[in-house]
């Protein structure tokens, strides 16, 4: 416990009443936006920003759309200024020329967002603003340009070095835990008792990344089971009434659930860092831990299978029908899916596989009947998969994967996949 612990608290106790008396000459949102970027904005501090955020919060969907289009069109980059400044820089690489280009290359709205972010607590509001924006992209694809600016800012603001790893356990504050319950995206947390079973036992751990400027909001969290043996299903991990694994028998750290919490941070990836940081944390805490491994879902398996035909003896039939007749073949078909089903860019169809293999993990085991929840049954016929994190092999695995699309997997799994390799074909 030391001095610095109080730093964060202060963030939220801050007051900003210095210029509370400030009133924009007219209270339209766009006037406020212009005022913020004018000389008034410089001295009025965060008063105008607060007004804008208050305004924004009360907008309905249509007004938000209009606001975004305003930012898109009225605060865009000045193409002419860019062209002429980059030309000058090309001619002479002087500092002033570079500065002119860098200034021109940033649309006014970047500075606008930065000013908004000066309000204590605004970071979370801007993340919510991007969530709103993303929800409009399908209808207004032109807003993608605006999203690029927000994303660029978020990449700076949510730089990995600013994130803080925090253990989440049964002594954590209830209002944080309630968010863990609501954000869990993989294996639903059904009640506070369910949560307790995941957090309180000594062989269960949970870690989340937080950002100092939105300390009440986890960004991403991972749930970990410490086990004596590799569990073959998520039911084993989540079962009620089980005995905690004795400290001395623990050999495996099983990452059985990773959930992103903020839709407004989509595409700003924290998962890679989280796993590595937690592996480092647990390694240091328990030098005897031997294996770091996931128990992961196979989210698109059923959807993929529905598009396959299979050669069963002389006949060709839908793969789904085949699997219904031969349920014992599910692991083999799962192996086919994971190892052979590729997108055009030679990357696996399965997003979870892409994530872990891209991280340098290897495919270790496939378990049937491993997720008996309705969702697990529906999306993957109950299949779950282990990805193994071996420190010394991460870079090698990663490089082969991204360069050549090579998937590192246990030989048995490659063998299993070969079983139906030539018999599967995409439905026409």
Q: Interface residues for a copy of itself in 56-115 (CB under 8 A)?
A: 76-77, 79, 82-83, 86-87, 89-90, 93-95, 98-99, 101-102, 105, 114
How far separated are the first and last CA of the chain, in Å rounded? 64
Angle between helix 108-116 and 29-37 (nearest 10): 100
The site string for a copy of itself over 257-276 (x = CB under 8 A, - otherwise) reads: ---------------xx--x
136 touches a copy of itself (CB under 8 A): no
Cβ proximity to a copy of itself: between 272 and 414 the closer is 272
Pick the closer one to a copy of itself by CB: 229 or 399.
Answer: 399
Residue 399 lies near a copy of itself (rule: CB under 8 A): yes
| Residue 166 Cβ vs a copy of itself, minimum distance, rounded to whole Å | 6
**Minimum distance, C-beta of residue 126 to a copy of itself, in the bound complex (Å):** 9
Beta bridge partners of 388: 293, 362
**Residue 104 vs 385, nearer CB to a copy of itself:** 104
C-beta closer to a copy of itself: residue 214 or 413: 214
Residue 395 CA, distance from chain mean position: 21
Of 66, 200, 321, 325, the residue at the interface with a copy of itself (CB under 8 A) is 200
> Alpha-carbon distance 92 to 104, whole Å?
17
Provide the CA 159 distance to its chain's centre, in angstroms: 14
Distance in angstroms (rounded) separating the CA atoms of residues 228 and 230: 7
314 makes contact with a copy of itself (CB under 8 A) = no
Q: Give, for 57, the enclosing helix (H) or strand (E).
A: helix 47-57
**311 makes contact with a copy of itself (CB under 8 A):** no
Please select the residue that binds a copy of itself; options are 58, 60, 138, 174, rule is CB under 8 A: 174
Residue 174, classed as helix, strand or coil, is: helix
| 344 vs 392, beta carbon nearer a copy of itself | 392
156: contact with a copy of itself by CB under 8 A? yes
Count, residues near a copy of itself per rule CB under 8 A: 107
Contacts 24+ apart (CB under 8 A), 175-180: 175/216, 176/216, 176/218, 179/216, 179/217, 179/218, 179/261, 180/206, 180/208, 180/218, 180/221
Choice between 118 and 132, CB closer to a copy of itself: 118
Q: Which of 63, 152, 188, 247 binds a copy of itself (CB under 8 A)?
A: 152
Q: Kindly state whether residue 375 participates in binding a copy of itself, applying the rule CB under 8 A.
A: no
Query: Which residues lie closer than 8 Å to 238 by C-beta, 6 or more apart?
Result: 187, 194, 197, 198
Site for a copy of itself in 2-21 (CB under 8 A): 2-11, 14-19, 21
Tell me which stretch binds a copy of itself (CB under 8 A): 59-67, 161-169, 224-232, 380-388: 161-169
Distance from the Cα of residue 297 to its chain's centroid: 15
CA distances from 405 to 181, 231, 324, 385 (A): 36, 29, 31, 19
Write out the two tokens for 247.
């400290």
Kindly tell me which residue out of 36, 65, 75, 213 binds a copy of itself, with binding defined by CB under 8 A.
213
Q: Which is nearer to a copy of itself, 10 or 428 (CB)?
A: 10
Minimum CB distance to a copy of itself, residue 153 (Å): 7
Q: Considering only residues 353 through 372, tell me which ones interact with a copy of itself, judged by CB under 8 A.
A: 358-360
DSSP-assigned letters across all residues of 337-361:
HHHH-B-TTS-BS-HHHHHHHHTT-
Cβ partners under 8 Å of residue 43, min gap 6: none
Query: 59 or 77, CB closer to a copy of itself?
Result: 77
Of 31, 63, 66, 148, which lies in the binding site for a copy of itself, with binding defined by CB under 8 A? 148
- What does each C-alpha distance from 25 to 29, 31, 99, 119, 388 come to in angstroms? 11, 8, 33, 21, 61
25 binds a copy of itself (CB under 8 A): no
Q: List the one residue from 108, 157, 318, 377 that touches a copy of itself (CB under 8 A).
A: 157
- Nearest distance from C-beta of residue 99 to a copy of itself, angstroms: 5
Angle at Cα 101 formed by Cα 97 and Cα 102, nearest 5°? 115
Q: Which of 53, 112, 123, 365 contacts a copy of itself by CB under 8 A?
A: 123
Among 394, 405, 418, 419, binds a copy of itself (CB under 8 A): 394
Separation of alpha carbons 203 and 357, rounded Å: 27
User: Whose Cβ is closer to a copy of itself: residue 28's or residue 192's?
Assistant: 192
Specify the stretch interacting with a copy of itself by CB under 8 A; choose among 154-162, 233-241, 297-305, 319-327. Answer: 154-162
| Lookup: tokens for 68 | 């975004």
């Amino acid at each position: 416990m030391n001095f610095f612990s109080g730093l964060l608290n202060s963030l939220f106790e801050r007051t900003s009443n210095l210029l509370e008396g400030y009133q924009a000459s007219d209270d339209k949102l766009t006037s406020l936006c212009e005022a913020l970027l004018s000389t008034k904005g410089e001295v009025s501090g965060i008063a105008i920003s607060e007004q804008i955020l208050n305004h924004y919060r009360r907008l309905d969907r249509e007004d938000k759309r209009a606001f975004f289009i305003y930012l898109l069109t009225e605060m865009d980059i000045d193409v002419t200024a860019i062209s002429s400044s980059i030309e000058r820089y090309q001619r002479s690489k002087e500092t002033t020329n570079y500065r002119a280009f860098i200034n021109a290359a940033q649309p006014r709205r970047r500075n606008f967002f930065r000013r908004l972010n000066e309000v204590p607590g605004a970071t979370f509001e801007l993340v919510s603003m991007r969530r709103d924006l993303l929800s409009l992209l399908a209808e207004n694809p032109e807003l993608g340009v605006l999203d690029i600016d927000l994303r660029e800012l978020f990449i700076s603001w949510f730089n990995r070095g600013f994130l803080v790893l925090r253990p989440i356990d049964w002594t954590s504050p209830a209002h944080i835990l309630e968010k863990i319950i609501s954000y869990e995206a993989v294996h639903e947390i059904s009640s506070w008792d369910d949560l307790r079973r995941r957090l309180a036992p000594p062989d269960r751990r949970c870690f989340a990344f937080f950002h100092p400027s939105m300390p009440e909001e986890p960004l991403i969290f991972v749930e970990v089971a410490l086990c004596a043996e590799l569990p073959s299903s998520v039911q084993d991990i989540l079962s009620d009434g089980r005995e905690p694994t004795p400290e001395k028998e623990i050999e495996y750290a099983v990452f059985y659930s990773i959930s992103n919490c903020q839709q407004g941070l989509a595409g700003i990836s924290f998962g890679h860092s989280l796993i590595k940081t937690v592996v480092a944390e647990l390694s240091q805490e328990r030098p005897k831990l031997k294996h770091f491994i996931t128990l992961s879902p196979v989210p698109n398996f059923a959807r993929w299978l529905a598009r396959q035909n299979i050669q069963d003896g002389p006949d060709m039939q839908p793969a789904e029908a085949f699997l219904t007749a031969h349920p014992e073949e599910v692991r083999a078909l799962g192996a086919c899916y994971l190892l052979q089903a590729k997108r055009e860019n030679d990357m696996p169809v399965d997003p979870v596989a892409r994530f872990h293999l891209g991280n340098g993990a290897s495919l270790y085991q496939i378990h049937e009947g491993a997720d008996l929840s309705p969702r697990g049954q529906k999306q993957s016929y109950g299949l779950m998969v282990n990805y193994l994190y071996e420190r010394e092999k991460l870079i090698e695995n990663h490089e082969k994967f991204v360069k050549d699309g090579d998937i590192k997997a246990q030989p048995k799994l490659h063998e299993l996949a070969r079983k139906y390799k030539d018999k599967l074909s995409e439905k026409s």
